[in-house]
Amino acid sequence: MKTIKGPAIFLAQFMGKDAPFDTLDHLAGWAKSLGYEGIQLPTDPRLIDLEKAADSQTYADEIKGVVAAHGLQITELSTHLQGQLVAVHPAYDQLFDGFAAPHVRGNPKARQEWAVNQLKAGAKASQRLGLVTHASFSGALAWPYLYPWPQRPAGLVDEAFAELARRWTPILDAFDEVGVDVCYELHPGEDLHDGVTFERFLEATNNHPRANILYDPSHFALQQLDYLAFIDIYHERIKAFHVKDAEFRPTGRQGVYGGYQAWGDRAGRFRSLGDGQVDFSAIFSKMAQYDFAGWAVLEWECCLKHPEDGAREGADFIRSHIIRVAQRAFDDFAGSGVDRAQLRQLMGIAA
């Protein structure tokens, strides 16, 4: 059995212009001061030059050195924003354009090509950094048609997933070449947002071995999906873990869809760790049961609490939930130590 590594923290929500949130060195020092042991690194040019990390082992070693100097490890690289741009429905062109490099904005074809190249660079950079998992989004072509009204034309969803697979298979192959798993965060707004859609994608990619899951129970709580049963079903594909809390409190006026309200007024909203409804004791137990060997990574999002308070509390919260797994059975003391002949005799089986 394996013990989960952690606590770690995803840095995306904490980057800023002022210290200690302005550089990788400062952020690493800040994370260590809070008790974290790892950082999930967004591939933002303010923190890492992704293409340089893919091309230069010297530079990749320098990045590792900045983090290691603070006694931390990099858990995964994140290309969530670039992954989103692998597949963008035209309805979202303008809204997602800001995720891309300036020179490809306003040009969907060039933007997609840039995103694909970014993912492939992420594969090589992950290898150079000694990582075996990588966090990303799938992007979405069918999301505007989620609710079937007007009725979806026959074949639309099948074609959307076929196209998504066509775009992602060369990327997954690039990750396979360097021995790194792509872990899709199953997230509303992405075509991969629950178990059914993940299975559709697996089928479309011929069960590609590098297509895996970043498990984040907060997104499942807000969908009213059984996030514990999800682990039972998909544990072999769960290779990364975001520890993020949420709550769902429907009223007579709103439910899952939230009525277009701001986050603070929605029935379903993300919360700081321990302030929501997610049963993390049960989640960490299942992760231990299924030998999850990755990192427990805080992703902080909350519409109420200050982020620095959430980060500070999150380290202790994760540490208190990590189960140090037993190295022997609890009832070993009562073992009888009988040999095979005695076992057969006990069952009345002739020698």
Query: To the nearest 10°, the Cα dihedral for 80, 81, 82, 88?
Result: 110
Let me know if residue 167 belongs to a domain: yes
Let me know if residue 275 belongs to a domain: yes
Sign of CA dihedral 238, 172, 301, 188: negative
Phi then psi for residue 101, to 5 deg, are -65, 145
Please give the share of the chain, as a percent, with pLDDT higher than 90.
92
Return the pLDDT at 331.
66
**Domain count across the chain:** 1
Return the pLDDT at 330.
64
Tell me the three-class secondary structure of the chain, residue by residue. Answer: CCCCEEEEEECHHHCCCCCCCCCHHHHHHHHHHCCCCEEEEECCCCCCCHHHHHHCHHHHHHHHHHHHCCCCEEEEEEEHHHHHCCCECHHHHHHHHCCCCHHHCCCHHHHHHHHHHHHHHHHHHHHHCCCCEEEECCCECCHHHCCCCCCCCCCHHHHHHHHHHHHHHHHHHHHHHCCCEEEEECCCCCCCCCHHHHHHHHHHCCCCCCEEEEECHHHHHHHCCCHHHHHHHHCCCEEEEEECEEEECCCCCCCCCHHHCCHHHCCEEEECCCCCCCCHHHHHHHHHHCCCCCEEEECCCCCCCCHHHHHHHHHHHHHHHCCCCCCCCCCHHHCCCCCHHHHHHHCCCCC
Cα 285 to Cα 7, 18, 104, 279, 281: the distances in Å are: 16, 39, 45, 10, 6
At residue 75, the 3 state secondary structure works out as strand
- pLDDT, tens only, 275-301: 999 999 999 999 999 999 999 999 999
- pLDDT, tens only, 234-284: 999 999 999 999 999 999 999 999 999 999 999 999 999 999 999 999 999
CA separation for the pair 201, 125 (Å, rounded):
25
Return the pLDDT at 91.
97
- Computed over every residue of the chain, the mean pLDDT equals 96
Identify which has the larger pLDDT, 2 or 61.
Answer: 61
Phi then psi for residue 306, to 5 deg, are -65, 135
* Contact between 18 and 58 (Cβ < 8 Å): no
- Half-sphere exposure (Cβ direction) of 301: Cα atoms closer than 13 Å: 18
- pLDDT, tens only, 155-189: 999 999 999 999 999 999 999 999 999 999 999 99
Return the pLDDT at 341.
86
CA separation for the pair 140, 219 (Å, rounded):
16
Let me know if residue 165 belongs to a domain: yes
What is the pLDDT averaged over residues 20-41?
A: 98
Closest CA to 184 of 137, 150, 128: 137
Let me know if residue 133 belongs to a domain: yes
**What is the domain-level CATH number for residue 93?**
3.20.20.150
**Which domain range does residue 133 map to?**
5-346
Return the pLDDT at 118.
98
CA separation for the pair 232, 109 (Å, rounded):
39
Residue 231 banded pLDDT, cuts 50, 70, 90 = very high
CA separation for the pair 39, 276 (Å, rounded):
23
- pLDDT, tens only, 119-128: 999 999 999 9
Tell me how many degrees the CA angle 231-134-77 measures, rounded to the nearest 5.
130
- Residue 132 pLDDT exceeds 70: yes
Let me know if residue 351 belongs to a domain: no
Let me know if residue 28 belongs to a domain: yes
Q: How many residues does the chain have?
A: 351
Residue 333 banded pLDDT, cuts 50, 70, 90 = low
Let me know if residue 30 belongs to a domain: yes
Let me know if residue 328 belongs to a domain: yes
Closest CA to 187 of 211, 218, 156, 160: 218
Reading the block at residue 104, the tokens are: 């490809």
Query: Hey, how many other C-beta atoms are within 10 angstroms of the C-beta on 25?
Result: 15
